[in-house]
Chain A
Amino acid sequence: MIKKWLLGLLISLWLIPSQSVRAIETENALKAGFLFNFARYSEWSRAQDTQTEFVLCSPDNHFIDVASVVLAKRMVNHLPIQSKAVNLTETDLSQCQVLFITSDTLLLWQAAELTKLNNIMVVGETEDFIEQGGHIRFFLSGGKIRFEVSPAKLTQANINMSSKVLRLGRVVDN
């Protein structure tokens, strides 16, 4: 009886089902804000002049829902930002400037058979994401978002990030 009661208490205190969407929304919103800053402080050296919008992509629909709200009416290099949910196929990705792989879509990323993605900034949030083909990885420190970045891999993808942003991150090029 006591065991059951204790278990009930434990469940109510510790193993709380994630009822509040708000907490995840906040994290996604902040990460969308970081992606916006990565974009506006970087240069895509092979950007096409005909571009009419700046496209932020993710295979994660939940993330794109939040990002669309956060980044509505924002501009990068005078281009309006579009947040798009995409499939991880080369055709779909060809329209993207930034690709965000969330922890929920990591398996899709690992399963996707993509050739080298040029001109796309690839950002993730899971351990070893940069080793797995990414350029930037978010992590949490003391409840706040920080990031690791590989400037060399960004350069290989024809992207130059401003030192203003680089110095805020942990540079992981060896």
Chain B
Amino acid sequence: MKIDTKLLLMMLVSPLAMAEEPLNDLDLDLDSLMAMDVQVTSAMKRAQSAFDTASSIYVLTKEQIIRSGATSIPEALKMVPGLAVRQLDNNQWAITSRGVASRFSAKLLVMIDGQSFYTPKFAAVYWETLDVPLYDIERIEVIRGQGGLLWGSNASNGVINIITKNSIDTRGVYADLSSGSQINHDANLRYGGDIGNQGSFRVYGHVKDGDESDKGISLAPSDYTEQYSLGARFDFTPNDEWSGLIQGNITESTLGQNFRGVIDETNRNVSFSGHLDRTDSRIMARIENRISDDANQMLQTSWLKQSGSQTFLQEDFSSFDIDYQMNFLYGDLKFDWGLNYRYNDISFAESSFVRSDGGYNTLEQYGALVQAQYTIIDNKLDVILGAKVEHNDLTGWENQPLARLVWKLQPNQVLWTSISKSVRVPSLIEFNDDFTIDGQRVEEVSPITTGIDMIDTYYIRTYLNGNNDVKSEESTSYELGYRLSQGDWGVDLSIYHTEVSDVLAVEVDAKSEQFLPIFALLQQGEIELAMQSLASTSINFDLVSNAELTTNGGDIILTWQPTDTFNAEVGYSYNTFNYDLAENTFEAIGYDSTSRQLFAKTDIQLFENHRLFSSLRVENSDAYNTDNYTVLDLTWQWAFHPNWSAAVMGKNLFAGSHIEYSNAGETYTLPNYIDESVTFKLTAKF
């Protein structure tokens, strides 16, 4: 059965697309029907109709996730055109869109079923411990660019929402076992069933034991993996008006890592091998209510707890969220409004790297959103206006408005444009903490040199000081997009220009005058005293909000499905990242760079029970201090029995051993070479 390409493109973008399509165009495939919402209004801030969505959205379907042979969320995200996904070692990742990725500052909001995983301490996501069973993911929605309005602050570069399956669709037994050149064993087991005739459930477990990489950069790799997860989800549908779900997950991880930091009087970054122990727990509950055929409401509450312990760093973080949203249609007006509240509790032991100025062990955040979509010309022109206001304890009230226009040129062509403002609230590291960083040489910071090597090349203790003068970064983004579906093929194009003000930069305050007494001692021939004095001297790098940043770029994706056994996708993304810095400052996150990415994916059904999925990426970027590289991932699946299938996955082929991330200035981050790998997998479903 061949799926119409227009439908395929819309499904690719969102299963909800069909809701507004002419009835006689409905895709009557049972899987598609089961994926569609009955109402145009839908809770959880989902894109209403993807083909007509006025943002650069990409949906990774469950089919792509399974067929690609991805073994983790970051691996699956490598398939999204326009996402920068850089692997640091076998566990750690730096991921973002429309900017420069970093392990600790992503400006990207990541959620599982609407539950946020943003940590206000680092502004980062611990990808390595974000364990979601890939086989039970419904889809991953990726919004490249500003998601500010609907999703709250800190989504300036994008939003990733991982949507898991309703447990009614995961009844039965699922088991898989993988092993290969880097994975010793990775096993999953899930059991799901009905709860009477008003609900369903699933429980699952995951065990992973992985090897170190083959080759390190300055230290032998120690990035092994030991991970255990347990989780459950319960869905209740007492009647057609009400439904609810509760889910929870706990993941225990022990992850080897190489890292670096300043721990002694050399004042230099020293490299270590160690390990990180983490426990990540999450639980969430949601109630959805269909008020009428044209209105619904949703209440969601969740709790997240993450504890991490590693050499020189102990952290405990928990957050509690409550979210209410209502959506309704009134004639030609589609209206959404909502309220949100978040409470964060952060405990961070003092260490030789990081010291807190104190006072921010708990953080609160609350806000409201409204969005209205009005149809000016039926089936032709829609205008969307919205605003989100939110209060946080660090920078007070923030306001994020947007205006969008969707113009349906033809039934198969859409042009959209958007202007939006988005805010990134500083992380606690930026606002409240002091960080000891790699020392500076006297000759680099002192106005004069002494000619004495011991003095001139001495590394002075150097601090990076977060402070409460740091402001929220404000981005204004102008976006334009076009979608077309024609016969067997489709196009999705978006371009953007984003200007960010109050961007974080580092101001160097060498306090040159502090060297004068030292030079005086030298003149008196007191070299030893001068050295002692130098040892108690320090240089401060202060974080300031006075830079400006401009990013420009675009993404184009072509899809082609000439037959029902073959589909292909080609994508190209381009991004420039340019700072405008004040005198005496330098970049805090990323640096002026240009990134280009070329993608090609094919999904072929070779014979009745065989499938070959390939994904080729060409990464060309000067943002990560690495060589350009081309990688090919190949997965061959063979369903040799109605209940059993086998797969062999080759990852990072072509590139061989390569480095994906080498921004060595970052404290703590010490990547390895990324290896080619081969994995075998056996899957059973009953």
Name the A residues within 8 Å of B237 (CB-CB).
Answer: 139-142, 146
Expressed in whole angstroms, the Cα–Cα distance for A36 and B23 within the complex equals 14
Partner of A141, one of B30, B43, B235, B294: B235
Query: Which of the 9-residue segments B147-155, B179-187, B328-336, B659-667 touches chain A?
Result: B328-336
A29-B26, A70-B24 are contacts. A145–B38 as well, Cβ < 8 Å? yes
Contact partner of B30 (CB less than 8 A), chosen from A12, A140, A165, is: A165
Q: Are A37 and B28 in contact (CB under 8 A)?
A: yes
A residues in contact with B20, CB < 8 Å: 22
Bound form: Cα–Cα A150–B172 in Å: 18
Q: A127-154 vs B: 1/0 string, CB under 8 Å?
A: 1000000000001111111101000000
Residues of A contacting B24 in the complex (Cβ-Cβ under 8 angstroms): 69-70, 72
A127 to B245, CA, bound (A): 20
Q: Do B330 and A143 touch across chains, with their CB atoms under 8 A apart? A: no
**In B523-558, which residues have CB < 8 Å from any A CB?**
none
Q: Does B255 contact A (CB under 8 A)?
A: no
- Report the separation of the CA atoms of residues A74 and B294 in the bound assembly, to the nearest whole angstrom: 30
Among B312-365, those with CB < 8 Å from A are 326, 328-331
Residues of A within 8 A of B239 (CB): 127, 139
Option from A74, A125, A127, A145 in Cβ contact (under 8 Å) with B33: A145
Tell me whether B19 is interfacial, beta carbon within 8 Å: yes
Min distance, Cβ B264 to any Cβ of chain A, angstroms:
56
Query: How many residues of A are counted as interface, with CB atoms below 8 angstroms from the partner's CB atoms?
Result: 41
A14 is an interface residue with CB less than 8 A from chain B: yes
Specify which chain A residues have a CB less than 8 angstroms from the CB of B330 in the assembled complex.
Answer: 12, 16, 19
Assess whether A79 is interfacial by the CB under 8 Å rule: no
Q: How far is the CA of A167 from the CA of B169 in the complex (A)?
A: 9
Q: Please give, as numbers and ranges, the residues of chain B lying within 8 Å of A23 by CB-CB distance.
A: 38-41, 293-294, 329
Q: Given A26-B38, A170-B197, decide whether A20 and B288 contact each other with a Cβ distance below 8 A.
A: no
The SS class assigned to the B binding surface is mixed
B240 CB within 8 Å of chain A: yes
Q: Is the CB of A19 within 8 A of B294?
A: yes
Task: Check A108 for interface membership: any CB of B closer than 8 A.
Answer: no
B288 and A18 form a contact (CB under 8 A): no
B296 interface residue per 8 A CB criterion: yes
Other-chain contact of B38, A37, A69, A72, A144 (Cβ < 8 Å): A144
The answer for the CA separation of A35 and B288 in the assembled complex, in Å, is 26
How far apart are the CA atoms of A125 and B36 in the complex, in Å? Answer: 17
What CA separation (Å) do A12 and B294 show in the bound complex?
Answer: 12
- Per-position binary interface string of chain B over residues 56-99, scored 1 when its CB falls under 8 Å from any chain A CB and 0 otherwise: 00000000000000000000000000000000000000000000
Q: Mark B619-647, 1 if CB is under 8 A from A, else 0.
A: 00000000000000000000000000000
Binary flags per residue of B29-50, CB closer than 8 Å to A gives 1, else 0: 0100111111111110000000
A140 and B243 form a contact (CB under 8 A): yes
Interface string of B177-218 (1 = CB under 8 A from A): 000000000000000001001001000000000000000000
Residues of B within 8 A of A20 (CB): 40, 293-294, 329, 331
A140 to B28, Cβ gap below 8 A? no
Which of B194, B290, B294 is close to A143, meaning CB atoms less than 8 Å apart?
B290
Would A145 and B34 be within 8 Å (CB), given that A16-B294, A20-B331 are in contact?
A: yes
Chain B proximity mask over A1-45: 1 for CB below 8 Å, otherwise 0 = 000000000001111101110111111011001101100000000
Contacts A29-B26, A30-B36, A127-B239; A143 near B197 (Cβ below 8 A): no
B168 contacts partner chain A, Cβ-Cβ < 8 Å: yes
6 A–B pairs (Cβ distance < 8 Å), ordered by A: A15-B292, A23-B293, A26-B39, A29-B26, A30-B38, A34-B30
Instruction: Name A residues whose Cβ lies closer than 8 Å to a Cβ of B.
Output: 12-16, 18-20, 22-27, 29-30, 33-34, 36-37, 66, 69-70, 72, 74, 125, 127, 139-146, 148, 165, 167-168, 170, 172
